[in-house]
Structure 1
Amino acid sequence: MNEGFGIRSLHPIVILIYYAGGITFGMLLFHPLILLAGWGTAVVVNLHLDGGREWRRWSLPMLIGVVLIVVMNPILSHRGRTVLYYLGDIPITLESVIYGITLAISMLNLLTFFVTYRLVMTEQKFLFLFTRVSPKAALVAMMAMGLVPRLRRRMQELMLIQRTRGVTVLEGSLAQRAKSGARLVGTLLSWTLEDALQTADSMQARGYGTGTRSTYLGFQFRGRDRLMAGGLIGCAIILLTVWGTGHGYLMIYPRLGSFALSMGDGLALAAYIAYLLLPLGMEWRDRRAWRILNYRG
């Protein structure tokens, strides 16, 4: 879908509010059931944006990180009163296991949210938001966020090209693969540095940062943006109020509390899910209008 459709059609300020709030509440709330529901909702949002393609690309690194957190936290942290067993002289407690699982779900939730952020917040929107404040800092931040995906794409291109010349890290002895890997990395660094010099020369020639930046892309704050911003702020106020009264958090140390959701926890869960799903209402509305227009056409 294009930028004039669904979630992508919202004003950059509304998108920034949505993702800033989603990431903040993903860190403030610390109940495994609430975080698990939030992660499932973030996956649903991702599925509506690109069918889950981007999330599947990052699923393996995220899974590795989650497993490391779940395994390492009980080994490194010995807090808690309920000892399950001893790993040598290391006590493995129930509380440290549950804390590691909850922390892993929280990280998975945040990483999934960052994946959807990359799909919605384009470079033009990011520059629109921050260039008036600090154009150079905004440019550096935008280039830093796009560095890893750019290097990944270039490495895939290099591996495909060099494989035709017999340079591959997938075949041969360990020494041969190490030599091929070093050659690929060297080529990638040379390509990246050359591209950076060309970009710097081009920016200097165009006078970037010497005056007020003009833009070819304007964003208007429309009625749908006001409605969406109001809904997000309303949900955020409810969440902050409930969190401030001590809900949305599972007591783990020194002794594990009950997993049952209290009324306040249930309100936090409902407000959190509503916050994450609000932009999908715009997505569903525009999809329905698209189908109706195509059917009439």
Structure 2
Amino acid sequence: MSYRGVPNNGFNGSTAMNQQQSGFDYSAGQSRAFNAVNQNNLSNGNKANYSNNNSGNFMNKIQNGFDQMNEFAEELTDKPIVKRLQPYIPGLARFFIVATFYEDSIRLLTQWSDQVFFLHKWKHYPRWFVIIFLISVTIVMIIGSTLLVLRKQTNYATGALCSCIILQGLVYGLFTGSSFILRNFSVIGGLLIAFSDSIVQNKTTFGMLPELQDKSQKFKGYLLLAGRILIVLMFVGFAFSKSWFTVFLTLGGTVCFAIGYKTKLASLLLGLILVVYNLSLNNYWFHQDSKRDFLRYEFYQNLSIIGGLLLVTNTGAGDYSVDSKKKIY
């Protein structure tokens, strides 16, 4: 026959007699050994559970801290002083967004001869082209910025200002620098957010057709998504030139802002970082000559991006964001 297990060997008989003769209780020893093994296994399991609980508690603490900061950002809009200022925030944000265009127009008018000399002598453009180009760009930037602040013809104003950015980059030959490209893409992102804000305020339907309203809402959502992504491009170069703590905060804020997660907190965080560095590093009022012009350009470019961030805190992230999907699901 085949093997069926360990033979009995007379455990109940001879073993019991040996126990009586030796005075050792084999059953009790076997129970103690069994309990020791089980206790050791339980101890190892408790250690593993303790380790898992520690890591889980650490992540929970981070999540709780993040939620508390987000609650603070959400509750900030309920403060009485913020409630009083809230009707003026969109207008102030739009003015910040177009401030760089007003500054550029003033610079062209006050430095007219220098601009003509640079484009005509150094860039070798015909003089008649330079004159027409500078006059056209100056007028378009002033009118387009004013229309955007007043929320009048915002589609034409946004298109005209975006065209000015592209044309000036091409004519002045500024598209060779990555910093210029990223910064001006972010300014375009702010313009798109300002344009989307006009769609939020001007909700109109024709003949009470809900389909047109749905198309308008979808278009607004796409604009906000594109604007959020373009705005954070500037922070790619900005973050890595600062301290490691600023890099950590900026990267976390840009990811959350781009995907629309805890958007109000991310907007306030990025805006605060940009305000601090703008006032401390781009303080052009303390400098003279060419450095003053360069810092002033940087200051108003950053102010434009701050305006876009401020506007998002008021309008929200839009339909195409994690915050919006969380409300649905």
Structure-2-length-normalised TM-score: 0.25
Q: Which has the higher contact order (CA 8 A, sep 6+)?
A: 1
The structure that has the greater radius of gyration is: 2
Structure-1-length-normalised TM-score: 0.27
Q: Whose helix proportion is higher, 1 or 2?
A: 2
